């Protein structure tokens, strides 16, 4: 494209921006995708090794339906590009007596028609003897869910989008690049390139509040999140299918089996301290390791003294309750804000992309009110996990 004129400029090639650019191109648009550091880079929220795709979302049917459609789209995409980046490990929910979330999840899965199996404690310990069941009263398996190899999946989407005709530019779009008029004329990259498009999508993940501080600084809160990998003994008892992915939201923890020889992964799913994605160091804390090791001793007791093989610090970009943000900027008629993945967004990438593409085209049967800017409160009260 020589005249720098596009139908849509998508800023940010994380999972939301990558799929948005891909889906826009599928619908015939001329698209440029711009990222400051490259798809799935190490400071982006999509830059981790792996992300869970599960269907259970308590009573939040909107996310269960989205996750189900997203899994289908991810699988079709991986088949098409011949990259096996989905591991169907199954997802095991560890349920506590006083926790309504797995109960509601099971009800919603039944309503939507997604396969799952409820297990008694005895069944869990027979099937997965590696798992410690302290405090657990029953469990539920989603047999078709599993793990997306996140960083590589985003890169694959961008590669395919480029193959299909999306132009890609690696540069930062200046935060002052959107002029203060009601219709954005152009955006400016730091190297001076002017990008002219009819519409702009800002899918900047944890950078969105920096790009639009007046609007979003108090509505999207990046938090520091630590992730640990531990070595496993030789053999297959800590790889899938012997060990599934497991979630224990009551204990604010989740774990992945040993995938591709990286070791088992464990993280605490509680919002950490505020985090600056540009300037903060990414070194895990001794307190974080202590907490995760206690969790390891409780849930995978055979690994309680296993050595740490890798660590990562990533960030969530949380809206007040965990609902995504996909809406038009209130002061511009051609600027879209897409983000607020809130620690659970990765799996939904293909559906967010479809939704944004439909909204940009003005061609949508149903606008999801939960994704609107006006529902984004300033006080943090997480309800979507």
Nearest one of 315, 367, 313 to 340, comparing CA atoms? 315
Binding-residue total with ligand FAD (CB under 6 A): 39
Region near ligand FAD per CB under 6 A, out of 89-97, 198-206, 286-294, 366-374:
198-206
Q: Among 30, 37, 96, 250, which residue sits at the site for ligand FAD (rule: CB under 6 A)?
A: 37
Region near ligand FAD per CB under 6 A, out of 36-44, 137-145, 214-222, 232-240:
36-44
Nearest one of 38, 60, 54 to 86, comparing CA atoms? 54
Q: Among 56, 58, 132, 206, which residue sits at the site for ligand FAD (rule: CB under 6 A)?
A: 206
Contact 73, 26 (CB under 8 A): no
Q: Which residues contact 334 (CB under 8 A, 6 or more apart)?
A: 183, 184, 198, 199, 200
Min CB(323)–ligand FAD separation in Å: 12
Is residue 262 involved in binding ligand FAD (CB under 6 A)? Answer: no
Is residue 21 involved in binding ligand FAD (CB under 6 A)? Answer: no
Region near ligand FAD per CB under 6 A, out of 5-13, 290-298, 301-309, 361-369:
5-13
Question: Interface residues for ligand FAD in 333-372 (CB under 6 A)?
Answer: 339, 341, 343-347
Residue 114 or 211: the one with the smaller Cβ distance to ligand FAD is 211
CA angle 90, 96, 100 (to 5 degrees): 90
Q: Among 23, 24, 32, 48, which residue sits at the site for ligand FAD (rule: CB under 6 A)?
A: 48
Q: Among 205, 222, 263, 353, which residue sits at the site for ligand FAD (rule: CB under 6 A)?
A: 205
Region near ligand FAD per CB under 6 A, out of 21-29, 56-64, 213-221, 310-318:
310-318
Other Cβ atoms closer than 10 A to 162: 15
CA angle 100, 101, 105 (to 5 degrees): 120
Whether omega for the bond prior to residue 241 falls within 30 degrees of 0, making it cis, is yes
Min CB(18)–ligand FAD separation in Å: 7
Residue 34 or 124: the one with the smaller Cβ distance to ligand FAD is 34
- Token pair listed for 318: 């949380």
Nearest one of 8, 337, 335 to 167, comparing CA atoms? 8
Region near ligand FAD per CB under 6 A, out of 2-10, 15-23, 55-63, 372-380:
15-23
Distance separating alpha carbons of residues 7 and 1, to the nearest angstrom: 11
- Token pair listed for 34: 């711009």
The phi-psi region of residue 260 (left if phi > 0; otherwise alpha if psi is between -120 and 50; otherwise beta) is left
Binding mask 125-164 for ligand FAD (x = CB under 6 A): ----------------------------------------
Contact 154, 14 (CB under 8 A): yes
Nearest one of 51, 37, 52, 11 to 277, comparing CA atoms? 37
Nearest one of 13, 284, 285, 40 to 167, comparing CA atoms? 13
Burial class (CB in 10 A: 0-12, 13-18, 19+), 28: exposed
Is residue 178 involved in binding ligand FAD (CB under 6 A)? Answer: no
Is residue 271 involved in binding ligand FAD (CB under 6 A)? Answer: no
Is residue 69 involved in binding ligand FAD (CB under 6 A)? Answer: no
Is residue 65 involved in binding ligand FAD (CB under 6 A)? Answer: no
Is residue 55 involved in binding ligand FAD (CB under 6 A)? Answer: no
- Token pair listed for 265: 């992964």
The residues that touch ligand FAD, with contacts defined as CB under 6 A, are: 11-17, 34-37, 41, 44-46, 48, 51-52, 172-173, 203-207, 211, 225, 227, 267, 314-316, 339, 341, 343-347
């Amino acid at each position: 494209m020589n005249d720098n004129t596009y139908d849509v400029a998508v800023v940010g090639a994380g999972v939301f921006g990558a799929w948005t650019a891909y889906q826009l191109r599928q619908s015939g648009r001329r698209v440029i995708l711009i990222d400051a550091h490259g798809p799935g880079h190490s400071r982006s929220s999509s830059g981790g090794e792996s992300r869970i795709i599960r269907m259970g979302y308590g009573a939040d049917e909107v996310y269960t339906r989205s996750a189900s459609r997203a899994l289908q789209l991810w699988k079709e995409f991986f088949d098409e590009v011949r990259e096996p980046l989905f591991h169907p490990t199954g997802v095991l929910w560890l349920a506590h007596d006083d926790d309504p979330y797995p109960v509601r999840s099971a009800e919603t899965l039944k309503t939507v028609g997604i396969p799952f199996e409820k297990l008694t404690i005895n069944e869990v310990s027979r099937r997965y003897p590696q798992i410690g069941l302290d405090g657990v009263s029953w469990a539920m398996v989603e047999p078709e869910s599993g793990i997306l190899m996140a960083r590589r999946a985003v890169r694959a989407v961008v590669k395919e989008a480029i193959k299909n005709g999306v132009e890609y530019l690696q540069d930062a779009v200046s935060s002052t690049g959107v002029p203060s008029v009601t219709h954005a004329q152009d955006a400016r990259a730091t190297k001076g390139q002017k990008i002219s498009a009819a519409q702009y999508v800002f899918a900047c993940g944890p950078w969105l509040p920096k790009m639009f501080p007046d609007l979003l600084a108090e509505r999207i809160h990046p938090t520091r999140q630590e992730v640990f990998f531990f070595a496993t003994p030789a053999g297959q008892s800590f790889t899938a299918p012997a060990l599934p992915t497991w979630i224990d939201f009551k204990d604010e923890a989740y774990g992945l089996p040993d995938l591709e020889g990286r070791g088992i992964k464990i993280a605490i799913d509680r919002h950490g301290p505020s985090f600056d994605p540009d300037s903060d160091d990414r070194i895990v804390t001794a307190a974080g390791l202590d907490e995760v090791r206690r969790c390891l001793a409780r849930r995978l007791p055979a690994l309680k003294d296993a050595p740490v093989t890798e660590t990562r610090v990533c960030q969530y970009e949380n809206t007040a309750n965990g609902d995504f943000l996909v809406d038009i900027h209130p002061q511009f008629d051609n600027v879209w804000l897409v983000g607020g993945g809130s620690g659970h967004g990765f799996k939904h990438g293909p559906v967010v992309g479809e939704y944004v593409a439909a909204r940009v085209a003005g061609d949508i049967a149903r606008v999801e009110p939960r994704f609107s800017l006006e529902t984004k409160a300033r006080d943090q009260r997480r309800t979507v996990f």
